[in-house]
Chain A
Amino acid sequence: MVEAVPIPAQKLRRALGRPSGWTLAAWLVAAAVATPVITVFSHVFLPKGDIWAHLAETVLGSYVTNSILLMIGVGIGVLMVGVPAAWMVTLCRFPGRRLFEWALLLPMAMPAYVVAYTYVGLLDYAGPVQTALRAALGMPDGLRWMPDVRNLPGAAVMLILVLYPYVYLLARAAFMEQSACVLEVSRTLGCAPAVGFFRVALPLARPALAAGAALAVMEALNDFGTVQYFGVDTMATGIYRIWRGMGDADAAAQLAALLLIFVFVVFGFERWSRGRRSFAHTSSRYRPLPRYELKGWLRAGAIFGCALPVTLGFIAPAGVLFGWALSHPEYWYRASSLLLIRNSFLMAGIAAVLGVALAVFLAYALRLHATPATSLAVRIAGMGYAIPGTVMAIGVLLPFAAFDHAIDRWARASFGVSPGLILSGTLVAVTFAYLVRFLTSSLNTVEASLGKITRSMDHAARSLGRGPGSTLWNVHLPIMRGSLLTAAILIFVDVLKELPATLVLRPFNFDTLATVTYNLASDERLAEAAGPALAIVAVGVLPVILLSRAISRSRPGAGTVEGIVL
Chain B
Amino acid sequence: MSGAALALEAIGHSYDGTVEVVSNFSLDVGAGEIVCLLGPSGCGKSTVLRLAAGLEPLQTGLIRLHGETVADGATGRSEPPERRKVGLVFQDFALFPHLTVARNVAFGLSTLPEPERTDRAREALAQVGMADYAGAYPHALSGGQQQRVALARALAPRPSIMLLDEPFSGLDARLREQIRDDTLRVLKRSGAATLLVTHDPEEAMFMADRIFLMEAGQLMQSGPPAEVYARPASAFAAMFFSNINELEGVVKEGAVTTPLGPVPAPGLAGPAKVLFRPEALELRPLDGAHLAGTVTEARFIGVAWLVRVAAMSEDGKALDLQVRMTGGHPPAVGQRMSLQLDPTQAFVFGA
A463→B87 contact, CB < 8 A:
yes
Stretch of B91-99, B229-237, B327-335 on the interface side: B91-99
- Bound complex: CA of A253 vs CA of B59, how far in Å? 48
Residues of B contacting A6 with CB < 8 Å?
14, 17-18
Residues of A contacting B135 with CB < 8 Å?
none
Q: In residues 248-267 of chain A, which contact B (Cβ within 8 Å)? A: none
Q: Which of A13, A461, A478 has the most CB of B within 10 A?
A: A461
- Bound complex: CA of A475 vs CA of B97, how far in Å? 9
A453 nearest in chain B by CB position? B97
A284→B88 contact, CB < 8 A:
no
A556→B97 contact, CB < 8 A:
yes
A2→B111 contact, CB < 8 A:
no
Residues of B contacting A479 with CB < 8 Å?
96-98
B94→A456 contact, CB < 8 A:
yes
Q: In residues 472-507 of chain A, which contact B (Cβ within 8 Å)? A: 474-475, 478-479, 481
B23→A462 contact, CB < 8 A:
no
A462→B59 contact, CB < 8 A:
no
Given A459-B55, A465-B82, 20 other A-B residues pairs in contact with their CB atoms under 8 A: A4-B18, A6-B14, A6-B17, A13-B76, A285-B139, A454-B94, A456-B90, A456-B92, A459-B90, A461-B96, A463-B81, A463-B86, A463-B88, A463-B154, A464-B82, A464-B108, A470-B110, A478-B98, A478-B99, A479-B96
Q: In residues 444-473 of chain A, which contact B (Cβ within 8 Å)? A: 454, 456-457, 459-467, 470
B55 nearest in chain A by CB position? A459
User: Which of A2, A454, A459 is in CB contact (< 8 Å) with B81?
Assistant: A459
B216 nearest in chain A by CB position? A1
Within 8 Å of chain A (Cβ to Cβ): is B12? Answer: yes
Expressed in whole angstroms, the minimum distance between the Cβ of A472 and any Cβ of chain B is: 13
Q: In residues 148-184 of chain B, which contact A (Cβ within 8 Å)? A: 153-154, 157, 163
B18→A474 contact, CB < 8 A:
no
Residues of B contacting A18 with CB < 8 Å?
57, 76
Expressed in whole angstroms, the minimum distance between the Cβ of B24 and any Cβ of chain A is: 9
User: Which of B76, B80, B90, B216 is in CB contact (< 8 Å) with A462?
Assistant: B80
- Bound complex: CA of A475 vs CA of B95, how far in Å? 10
Classify chain B's interface size.
35 or more
Q: Which of B94, B137, B139, B143 has the most CB of A within 10 A?
A: B94
Given A1-B217, A2-B218, verify A461-B107 contact (CB < 8 Å).
yes
- Bound complex: CA of A199 vs CA of B176, how far in Å? 34
B107→A464 contact, CB < 8 A:
yes
A4→B80 contact, CB < 8 A:
no
B88 nearest in chain A by CB position? A463
Residues of B contacting A460 with CB < 8 Å?
88, 90, 94-96, 153
Residues of B contacting A457 with CB < 8 Å?
94, 96
User: Which of A2, A285, A461, A466 is in CB contact (< 8 Å) with B216?
Assistant: A2
**Shortest Cβ-Cβ A-B pairs, 4 listed:** A464-B108, A456-B94, A463-B88, A462-B81
B82→A11 contact, CB < 8 A:
no
A556→B19 contact, CB < 8 A:
no
Residues of B contacting A1 with CB < 8 Å?
19-21, 216-217
B53→A4 contact, CB < 8 A:
no
Residues of B contacting A462 with CB < 8 Å?
54-55, 80-82
Within 8 Å of chain A (Cβ to Cβ): is B120? Answer: no
0/1 interface trace, chain A 256-288, chain B, CB 8 Å (1 if under): 000000000000000000000000000011100
- Bound complex: CA of A38 vs CA of B218, how far in Å? 51
Residues of B contacting A466 with CB < 8 Å?
82, 107-108, 110
Given A4-B18, A4-B19, A13-B76, verify A459-B53 contact (CB < 8 Å).
yes
Within 8 Å of chain A (Cβ to Cβ): is B85? Answer: yes
User: Which of A4, A13, A284, A459 is in CB contact (< 8 Å) with B14?
Assistant: A4
Interface positions of A (Cβ within 8 A of B): 1-4, 6, 10-11, 13-14, 18, 284-286, 454, 456-457, 459-467, 470, 474-475, 478-479, 481, 556-557
Residues of B contacting A467 with CB < 8 Å?
80, 82
B20→A475 contact, CB < 8 A:
no
- Bound complex: CA of A2 vs CA of B21, how far in Å? 8
- Bound complex: CA of A6 vs CA of B14, how far in Å? 9
Residues of A contacting B137 with CB < 8 Å?
556
- Bound complex: CA of A10 vs CA of B110, how far in Å? 37
- Bound complex: CA of A18 vs CA of B58, how far in Å? 13
Expressed in whole angstroms, the minimum distance between the Cβ of A176 and any Cβ of chain B is: 14
A sample of 9 inter-chain contacts (CB < 8 A) reads A1-B20, A6-B17, A13-B76, A461-B107, A464-B108, A464-B154, A466-B107, A467-B80, A474-B107
User: Which of B17, B85, B92 is in CB contact (< 8 Å) with A14?
Assistant: B17
- Bound complex: CA of A533 vs CA of B99, how far in Å? 43
A454→B92 contact, CB < 8 A:
yes
User: Which of A3, A4, A557 is in CB contact (< 8 Å) with B139?
Assistant: A557
- Bound complex: CA of A474 vs CA of B92, how far in Å? 20
Q: Which of B17, B53, B110 has the most CB of A within 10 A?
A: B17
- Bound complex: CA of A467 vs CA of B111, how far in Å? 13
- Bound complex: CA of A416 vs CA of B108, how far in Å? 59
User: Which of A454, A463, A481 is in CB contact (< 8 Å) with B82?
Assistant: A463
Residues of B contacting A3 with CB < 8 Å?
18-20
Expressed in whole angstroms, the minimum distance between the Cβ of B161 and any Cβ of chain A is: 10
0/1 interface trace, chain B 36-72, chain A, CB 8 Å (1 if under): 0000000000000000011101010000000000000
Residues of A contacting B98 with CB < 8 Å?
478-479, 481
- Bound complex: CA of A479 vs CA of B217, how far in Å? 36
B12 nearest in chain A by CB position? A4
B92→A4 contact, CB < 8 A:
no
A4→B153 contact, CB < 8 A:
no
A465→B110 contact, CB < 8 A:
yes
User: Which of B76, B94, B99, B216 is in CB contact (< 8 Å) with A459?
Assistant: B94
Expressed in whole angstroms, the minimum distance between the Cβ of A460 and any Cβ of chain B is: 4
A15 nearest in chain B by CB position? B17
- Bound complex: CA of A470 vs CA of B59, how far in Å? 27
B105 nearest in chain A by CB position? A464
Q: Which of B76, B108, B111 has the most CB of A within 10 A?
A: B108
B139→A2 contact, CB < 8 A:
no
Residues of A contacting B90 with CB < 8 Å?
456, 459-460
B44 nearest in chain A by CB position? A1
Residues of A contacting B94 with CB < 8 Å?
454, 456-457, 459-460
Expressed in whole angstroms, the minimum distance between the Cβ of A471 and any Cβ of chain B is: 8
Q: In residues 92-138 of chain B, which contact A (Cβ within 8 Å)? A: 92-99, 107-108, 110-111, 137
- Bound complex: CA of A457 vs CA of B153, how far in Å? 13
- Bound complex: CA of A152 vs CA of B96, how far in Å? 50
A481 nearest in chain B by CB position? B98
A556→B139 contact, CB < 8 A:
yes
- Bound complex: CA of A470 vs CA of B82, how far in Å? 11
- Bound complex: CA of A466 vs CA of B99, how far in Å? 16
Residues of B contacting A474 with CB < 8 Å?
107
Residues of B contacting A456 with CB < 8 Å?
90-92, 94
